[in-house]
Amino acid sequence: MTDILRSRIMIIYTIVLLATSLSLFSLEDNANKGLLSLLNIILIIVPLFSLLFSTIYIYNSAEFIELLVSQPLQRKSIWLSFSVGLAISLSMAFVIGIGVPVLLFQFNAIGFLLLIVGILLTVIFVAIALWAAVQIRDKAKGIGLAILLWMYFSLLFDGFVLFLLFQFADYPLEKPMILVSALNPIDLGRILILLQLDISAMMGYTGAIFKDFFGTIAGVTIAFITLTLWIIIPLYFSTHKFNRKDL
C-alpha cells in the first residue's frame, strides 16, 4: 500500500483533484454551484482514474503476485489485500483532493453526501477494475477493457437509457427508471446528489417520483445498499476467478 501511495501518478492525481476543486470553489460565488461543477468531475474523472490506475497496477505487479502465490498464503487473502490496498489509497487521494476543499467550503449534509458517493464510486471502480484485470491476461487488452467499461458506465449506458425512453415513450417510465438507475453506480450517485440540491424542483414529475423514493431514509438506505452491492459482486467474482486462475 505504501508503494501505491508513494507512486508519482497518485500524488499528481491528488494534486490535480485538489487544484480543480479549490479553484472551482473560489471561482464560483455560490458554493452550491461549485459543488455542481465538482459533481461532474467526480462522476467522470474519479471512475476513470480508479479503473485505469487499478488495472495498470494489477498488471504491473503480476510478477509480485506470482511470488506471493508461491508463498504459503491463501489466494483469497492475497487478492483481497490487493483490492483493499488499492481502494484505501485511492480513497485517501480522493478525500485529500476533494474532501478537504468540500469540508472547507461546504461543510454540510450535501458536502458529506458528495464525499461518501465519491468514495463509494472509487471503491466500486477499483472492484470493477480488478474483475476486468483478472479476466484477461494480456495487459493491453485488459486496459482496453477497463476503458470500455468506463465508456459504458459514463456514456453508453445513458445513451441506451435515452434510446429506451424514446422507444417506450408511450408508457409511464418514471418508476422503472428508478430500477434502471440502480444498474449504473454513476447514475445512482448523480441522482442521489442532485436530489439533495434544490435543483431537484426542476426535474419535474420524474424528479418528484425520484424524490419520493430517494428522499426517504428507506430509499437512501436502499441506494447505499445497491452501491455496496456494486462493490461486493465484482469483488466476489474476481476473487472466485483468481482462486482458480492458472497463473
Binding-site ranges for other proteins (CB under 8 A)? 36, 39-40, 43-44, 154-155, 158-159, 161-162, 165-166, 169, 173-174, 177, 180-181, 186-187, 190-191, 194, 198-199, 201-208, 210
Cα–Cα dist 60/142, whole Å = 12
At closest approach, how far in Å is the CB of 114 from other proteins? 13
Nearest to 95 by CA among 37, 13, 196: 13
Output 165 or 218, the one with its CB closest to other proteins: 165
At closest approach, how far in Å is the CB of 169 from other proteins? 5
Output 68 or 180, the one with its CB closest to other proteins: 180
Output 28 or 78, the one with its CB closest to other proteins: 28
Output 6 or 175, the one with its CB closest to other proteins: 175
At closest approach, how far in Å is the CB of 60 from other proteins? 29
- What length is written for the chain? 247
Residue identified by cell 491528488 is 14
At closest approach, how far in Å is the CB of 106 from other proteins? 17
At closest approach, how far in Å is the CB of 34 from other proteins? 13
Cα–Cα dist 90/142, whole Å = 20
Output 44 or 233, the one with its CB closest to other proteins: 44
Residue type present at position 47: P
Cα–Cα dist 80/206, whole Å = 40
The alpha carbon dihedral of 124, 104, 34, 194 has a sign of: positive
Output 142 or 185, the one with its CB closest to other proteins: 185
Rg (CA), the chain: 19
At closest approach, how far in Å is the CB of 201 from other proteins? 5
Which cell goes with 209? 417520483
What would the 3-class secondary structure string for 189-213 be?
Answer: HHHHHHHHCHHHHHHHHHHHHHHHH
